[in-house]
């Protein structure tokens, strides 16, 4: 039996038939049926029944890691392999939601999304096959060829400039990218992690439709996997959401996978986000969307442009709003997607291997432990800044010597901000916290002695 016979059988009485470049999806009642088309695009080959069956089997296996409730089975209909899925509301996909006028991302949801992706990456199979050590160069070369096909339409000078720029940046960071393979950062990832493949159900994010058809696009650096989502949010104008996802991912990845190599890897983020924008550029051009393709080409070049790194220290007594302030300004600091926010409360618990939302014992707040926490805060801040990403150091900084050391150890332009808030407001804010990493109580906040403004050399912001 042939592929058209299976299509005809399934299409009878269908609610909707959706065509993509390489698949047909048939919606019937609460079920979706997916068939691969008999096509060969070079990077994928579905020209035989066996190849289509194998691809659908991989699609089922890979996607059940994150969406087991959606991906049900692979069956045979009229001799053709068919992927059977639970039908879901496409209006709940983030790409569809973001296209609605006035839509803004729920930042708590973005926090959860970043954490979930970090957990997925931590569980993902590590690539041990050295032929995948340089898969990012494979995509760069593929982008070069595919964007080059539209050189006249996109502007020959811009296309040539981007090719020079992306390859120059790659040559600067290639050694780091290869080292991350050796360190186990190249894994069986999602591969196509943009807003069009993230569903919101029951108020929770669900990742679906990962890449199964090309090993070079599936065995990738975990940060490159995340980079697609960061790029997609940033280009759509959701800067704060992109920053929240990045910081949530970093904090959770540090706990799930350890800090080794995590923050150094940020040196690759401009390259990764640029490559992702380059992919969108040629895909848009191939679909005849030339204005959008030009926009993505411009974005791809802007991600590579040098941006000054800043180190910002945010201090204040408990309840003064340090973390709220840090999150509010982080997206505007340095290069996309903004500054890494390092919070001393989180680092202290991480050093103790302690759950974020469980209270530490009193001895964790002794002078030696505070010194340990501050030194780690400064060390990570230096690592992030040296990787080219701006950083925000979030701690009380009550003692002058910690404020002095923050400035003295900064490896980039430094800015100190002190948040001044009256005692009763701070106590009220602390009492209203829920699911917060800070262990401060209203009594702790009330007992903290005010710091004389004359002792503060940083910019003082009254937040009352």
Domain boundaries, the chain: 3-87, 91-304, 310-462
The answer, yes or no, to whether residue 22 has pLDDT greater than 90, is no
Q: What are 149-197's pLDDT values in tens digits? A: 999 999 999 999 999 999 999 999 999 999 999 999 999 999 999 999 9
Q: How many CA within 13 A on the CB side of residue 4?
A: 0
Q: What are 400-409's pLDDT values in tens digits? A: 999 999 999 9
The domain 91-304 is placed in CATH, from the list 3.30.70.141, 3.40.50.10420, 3.50.50.60, 3.90.1200.10, at: 3.90.1200.10
Q: What are 348-375's pLDDT values in tens digits? A: 999 999 999 999 999 999 999 999 999 9
CATH 3.90.1150.10 corresponds to the domain 3-87: no
- Give me the pLDDT at residue 12, please: 87
Taking the CA atoms of residue 220, residue 221, residue 222 and residue 226 in that order, the dihedral angle to the nearest 10 degrees is -80
What's the pLDDT band for 3 if we cut at 50, 70, 90?
A: low
Rounded Cα–Cα distance for residues 192 and 460 (Å):
44
Mean pLDDT of 79-105: 95
Average pLDDT, the chain: 95
Rounded Cα–Cα distance for residues 437 and 318 (Å):
12
Q: How many CA within 13 A on the CB side of residue 408?
A: 7
Mean pLDDT of 392-418: 96
- Per-position DSSP letters for 198-217, written without gaps between them: EEEETTEEEE-----S-HHH
- Give me the pLDDT at residue 1, please: 38
Lowest mean pLDDT among 40-44, 216-220, 260-264, 366-370: 40-44
The answer, yes or no, to whether residue 131 has pLDDT greater than 80, is yes
252 near 294, Cβ under 8 Å? Answer: no
43 or 359: which carries more pLDDT confidence?
A: 359
- What is the CATH class of 310-462? alpha beta
């Amino acid at each position: 039996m042939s592929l058209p016979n299976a299509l005809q059988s399934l299409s009878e009485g269908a609610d909707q038939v959706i065509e993509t470049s390489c698949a047909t999806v048939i919606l019937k009642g609460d079920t979706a049926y997916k068939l691969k088309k008999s096509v060969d695009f070079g990077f994928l080959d579905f020209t035989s029944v066996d190849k289509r069956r194998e691809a659908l089997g991989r699609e089922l296996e890979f996607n059940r890691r994150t969406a087991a409730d959606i991906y049900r089975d692979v069956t045979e209909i009229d001799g053709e392999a068919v992927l059977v899925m639970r039908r879901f509301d496409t209006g709940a996909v983030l790409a569809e939601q973001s296209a609605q006028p006035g839509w803004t991302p729920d930042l708590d949801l973005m926090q959860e999304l970043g954490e979930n992706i970090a957990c997925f990456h931590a569980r993902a199979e590590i690539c041990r096959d050295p032929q995948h050590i340089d898969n990012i160069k494979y995509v760069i070369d593929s982008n070069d060829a595919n964007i080059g096909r539209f050189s006249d339409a996109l502007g020959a000078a811009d296309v040539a400039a981007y090719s020079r720029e992306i390859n120059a940046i790659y040559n600067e960071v290639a050694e780091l990218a290869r080292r991350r393979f050796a360190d186990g950062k190249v894994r069986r990832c999602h591969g196509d992690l943009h807003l069009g493949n993230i569903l919101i159900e029951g108020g929770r994010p669900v990742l679906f439709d990962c890449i199964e058809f090309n090993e070079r696009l599936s065995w990738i650096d975990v940060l490159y996997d995340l980079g697609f989502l960061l790029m997609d949010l940033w280009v759509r104008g959701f800067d704060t959401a992109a920053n929240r996802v990045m910081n949530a991912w970093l904090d959770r990845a540090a706990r799930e996978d350890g800090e080794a190599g995590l923050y150094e890897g940020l040196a690759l983020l401009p390259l990764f986000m640029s490559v992702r924008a380059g992919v969108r550029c040629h895909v848009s051009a191939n679909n005849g969307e030339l204005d959008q393709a030009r926009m993505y080409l411009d974005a791809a070049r802007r991600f590579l442009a040098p941006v000054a790194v800043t180190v910002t220290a945010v201090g204040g007594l408990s309840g003064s709003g340090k973390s709220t302030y840090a999150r509010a300004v982080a997206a505007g600091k340095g290069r996309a997607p903004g500054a890494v926010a390092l919070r001393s409360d989180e680092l202290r618990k991480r050093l103790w291997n302690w759950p974020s939302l469980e209270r530490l014992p009193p001895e964790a707040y002794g002078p030696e432990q505070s010194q340990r926490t501050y030194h780690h805060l400064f060390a990570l801040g230096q690592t992030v800044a040296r990787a080219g990403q701006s950083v925000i150091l979030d701690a009380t900084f009550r003692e002058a010597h910690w404020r002095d050391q923050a400035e003295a150890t900064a490896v980039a332009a430094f800015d100190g901000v002190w948040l001044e808030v009256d005692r009763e407001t701070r106590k009220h804010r602390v009492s209203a916290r829920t699911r917060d990493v800070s262990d401060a109580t209203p009594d702790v906040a009330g007992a903290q002695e005010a710091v004389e403004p004359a002792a503060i050399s940083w910019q003082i912001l009254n937040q009352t």
